[in-house]
Amino acid sequence: MSRNSLKWLPAVVVPAVVVAAVIAVPLQAGAAVDLPDKTPEQVLLLVHDSTVSTFSGTVSQSSDLGLPALDLSAGMTKSMQKSMTESRPEGAASSVPEASTIGALSTALDLLSGSHEFRVYAGGESQSRVQIKDRMAERDVVQNGSDVWLYDSSSNAATHLSVPADLAATAESKFAALKSQLPTDLSTPAQLAERFLSELDPSTTVSVGTDARVAGRSVYQLVLTPKAADSLVASVSIAVDSQTGLPVQVVVMAEGQSAPALQVGFTAIDFAAPDADRFDFVPPANATVTEQALPDLPDRATGDHTGAQRPTAAELPRVTGSGWSSIVEVPAAAVPAELGNNPLIDQLTNGVEGGRALTTSLMTVFLPADGRMFAGAVPLAQLQAAAE
């Protein structure tokens, strides 16, 4: 993984975490753990050399971000949709969220509030399954070779994507290239940990904390502490399995907050390969099934831009500052115009001097009146200053 490509990591990894599903569990109490001493470098090497590719386990979420408790699906009334339709720029594609979009936003907010339980299965690079269990429903994301299924029991709807054998290699390389440009991947604690560990630089103090136990496994705790006094992130603790080197928990603490802002980890884990039929998904007989064509990933994923695909200078994000106090500025040309008249954004943000802002314990997003967007793991005042 290129270090240069991730210089922006501290500025955007927290916002990325906030808009994605987060899974977690606190350290388990029990008998004291006393592992052979290791330096931070040795624990990092343990993670780097991990070869774990098969496992199954239970993961639970707990988060305390200070997000507003909103029901987005209830908040998006027909009158709101009508208002957004009337205010849509002429000739623009429809920016009015349909029921499915509103449901997805509501789900995302729900996943970032309170606690949730997940089941995770990995059968190697080409087999995986994540089951998100709610009180009254279950959602599944299943990959089995070239087949990918998404299922939501609440709507009894399934989506199927298939990668032709002759395109699998090309699609995989394009997806890998595109994925490497994304801020973070939260499928498992290991993938979240990889993003934090990949960009260790002078802005971070790395130490080894107290040995502990997570999901019945003895772990080293690698602690990343931002040196910047103005960062909202107080520390990131990564629990590393002492035998396999697999990160099994990530805990993010916010400044001025005693409870963890985010926790990601297993409550139980088994390193035996799951049964192959675990990845053979068959939708219920009465389910609505949609066949989705494989998205034609643009050449921008591989760095080969052509014509209209190439972003202009006015559309490229700009990073100011460094390390954990970095700020990402998204030009107005790259921010969807409908954000300015979106009732959902109005519910999630507060009016502040110069625009609107979303503030959480770990990140801040500022939307100035001129259409730009600023984000970072810093207080609002710094984003407002950057916008001047």
For residue range 97-117, what is the model confidence (pLDDT) as tens digits? 444 444 445 555 566 666 778
Furthest CA-CA distance within the chain:
66
Q: What is the pLDDT of residues 14-39, one digit of tens each?
A: 333 333 333 333 444 445 789 999 99
CB 326 within 8 A of CB 375: no
Half-sphere exposure of residue 309, counting CA atoms within 13 Å on the CB side? 11
Mean pLDDT score, 177-206? 61
* Domains parsed from the chain with CATH numbers: 4-67+112-301 (2.50.20.10), 311-387 (no CATH)
Please give the pLDDT value at position 196: 61
Mean pLDDT, the chain, integer = 76
Helices (H), 182-333: 189-197
Mean pLDDT score, 307-316? 65
Q: SS3 of 85, please?
A: helix
94: confidence class by pLDDT, cuts 50, 70, 90: very low
Distance CA 198, CA 5 (A): 10
Please give the pLDDT value at position 294: 67
Q: Rounded to 5, what percent of the chain is helix, strand, coil?
A: 30, 30, 40
Residue 227: closest CA among 197, 200, 250, 247: 200
CB 331 within 8 A of CB 317: yes
Distance CA 51, CA 353 (A): 51
Please give the pLDDT value at position 202: 80
- Percent with pLDDT over 70 in the chain: 63
Please give the pLDDT value at position 99: 45
Mean pLDDT score, 47-60? 92
Distance CA 352, CA 349 (A): 9
